[in-house]
Amino acid sequence: MSLRASPPTHIPVLLQETIEALAVQPGGRYIDCTLGAGGHVAAILEHSSPGGQLLGIDADPEAVKIAGERLKAHSGSTLLINENFVNLQAICIKYDFHPVHGILFDLGLSSLQLDSNGRGFSFQHDASLDMRLSPDQEVTAADIVNTFPETELAYLIRTCGEEGYSHQIARHIVQKRPIRTTLQLVRTIEQAIGGRRGKIHPATKTFQALRIAVNRELEHLESALKQAVSLLGFEGKLVVISYHSLEDRIVKQFMHQESKDCICPPGTPTCVCGHTASLRLINKKVITPSLAEVQLNPRSRSAKLRAAERIITYDEQYKTIEKLCFSVKPKDNGWRKPTLLKRLQWAFLTP
Ligand SMILES: C[S@@+](CC[C@H](N)C(=O)[O-])C[C@H]1O[C@@H](n2cnc3c(N)ncnc32)[C@H](O)[C@@H]1O
C-alpha cells in the first residue's frame, strides 16, 4: 500500500521542494525533527527506499502516536521519538544515528494541533489557555497571561507577535485578569484594539507571541540548528521550512553566517574570528509555495524553505578518518575492514 494512501489529516507543505532540497536517495539516513502527522516522513521513506533509515522527533506525544500508526508498515526503518528537538544531538548520540544525509525542520504546528479543540492554540475554538506542545512542560499560556507584569506582557506581544498595539492589549489583559480561556482572551483583545483589521484576525499576533513564549520556540530553534550541522555528513542537507518572519530571520542569519569563512565585523583589517564555513547555501533565494499549492492548502501561504549543505574542510576530513581508524579495535577475523569502511561511508555519505 502506498504511504500516501492514508487519509490526509495535515497536508505536508512544499513536499516536492523538500524532497529535492534534501536530495533524498535510496539507502540514505534522514532526521525529521518535526514529525507532525508524518507527511514529509512518508515521502522521505518512499524516496529513500530501499534501505533508507529515518529518525522522527516530535515534542507532542499525540503527534508521535499518530505518525507511528501511519508509518506502522515501516517500523523496521523508522525510529520515532517523543522529544524536543532542542535535545537533537543527545538523541542522535543515544540512538547512534549520525552522521546523516539530511535533516528537516518543518516548524510551527500541524493542522491536527491547530484544529484540536482542547489545546488552546487556535482563537477559533474555546479552550483553556494551554498552548504547550507537550504536557510535560510546566508553563502554560494562562500562566503568562495571568502573572506577567504589564510591561513584560507588552514587550512579549511586541517582540514575539510583532504586534503594533502591544501596549493597549497588555493593559486590557491586566485589567481583565484572570483570563482562563481562548475566547476570553480573544474578547479582551477585540476590546483593546477593535475588530478585524484587513485579512488577519486581531488575536493572531498575540496568540503567536504566547505560543512562541510557552514553547521557547526561537531559542530552541537557534540551538537545534547548531546541533544539526554537527550531525550532517559531508554534503548532508539541512532543510528548514518556517512560517513567520521571526523564525525565518533566525534560519536565514544562521545559514548565511555558517556559509562564511570569516564573520568579523565589516572593516576589520585582518580576520580575528577564525570562523570557517560549515555550510554552503543550496538555494540563495528563499523557496515559497506556488499559487496552486496555496489554493489547495491556504495554511501553506506563509511558508519559506531554506536549504544548505554541509561542507567539511580537508582538515576535518583528515581528523574524521584518523578518529575512525583509531577507534576501531583490530581483530584477526576479518571484520575490521568492513566496519571501518561502513563508518567512513557514513561520515562521507557515499552510497
Ligand atoms: C508543521 S508540523 C510538521 C508537519 C509534518 N511535516 C507533516 O508533514 O506531517 C510541526 C510539528 O513540529 C512539532 N514541533 C514544534 N516544535 C518542536 C520542538 N521544539 N521539538 C519537537 N517538535 C516540535 C509540532 O509538535 C508539530 O507536530
Q: pLDDT tens for the chain, 351 residues: list them.
A: 344 444 447 899 999 999 999 999 999 999 999 999 999 999 999 999 999 999 999 999 999 999 999 999 998 999 999 999 999 999 999 998 989 999 999 999 999 998 888 899 999 889 999 999 999 999 999 999 999 999 999 999 999 999 999 999 999 999 999 999 999 999 999 999 987 667 789 999 999 999 999 999 999 999 999 999 999 998 999 999 999 999 999 999 999 999 998 899 888 888 888 888 999 999 989 999 999 999 999 999 999 999 999 998 777 777 777 776 666 554 444 434 446 666 666 666 554
pLDDT the model gives residue 267: 86
What pLDDT score was predicted for residue 61? 97
How many angstroms separate the CA atoms of 173 and 85, rounded? 32
**pTM score:** 0.90
The amino acid present at 280, given as its one-letter code, is R
Question: Are 285 and 300 in contact, with CB atoms under 8 Å apart?
Answer: no
pLDDT recorded at residue 332? 45
Residue 242 CB–ligand 1 contact under 6 Å: no
Instruction: Give the pLDDT confidence score for residue 260 in this predicted structure.
Output: 93
Q: Which residue has a Cα nearest atom 4 of ligand 1? A: 36
Ligand 1 within 6 A of CB of 38 = yes
Helix axes 182-193 and 166-176, enclosed angle (nearest 10): 130
Ligand 1 close to Cβ of residue 59 (< 6 A): yes
Pocket test for ligand 1, best of 34, 78, 217, 304 (most atoms within 8 A of CB): 34
Q: Does the CB atom of residue 40 touch ligand 1 within 6 A? A: yes
Residue with cell 561520515: 347
- Rounded to the nearest angstrom, the distance between the alpha carbon of 63 and the centre of ligand 1 is 8
Q: Are strands 53-58 and 78-82 parallel, antiparallel or unpaired?
A: parallel
Give nearest CA residue, ligand 1 atom 3.
36
Half-sphere exposure of residue 223, counting CA atoms within 13 Å on the CB side? 12
Atom 20 (ligand 1) nearest CA: 84
In ligand 1, which atom is closest to the CA atom of 12? 8
Q: Please give the span between the terminal C-alpha atoms of the chain, in angstroms, as a whole number.
A: 27
- Would you say the CB of residue 258 lies under 6 angstroms from ligand 1? no
* Ligand 1 center to 219 CA (angstroms): 15
Looking at residue 70, its pLDDT comes to 93
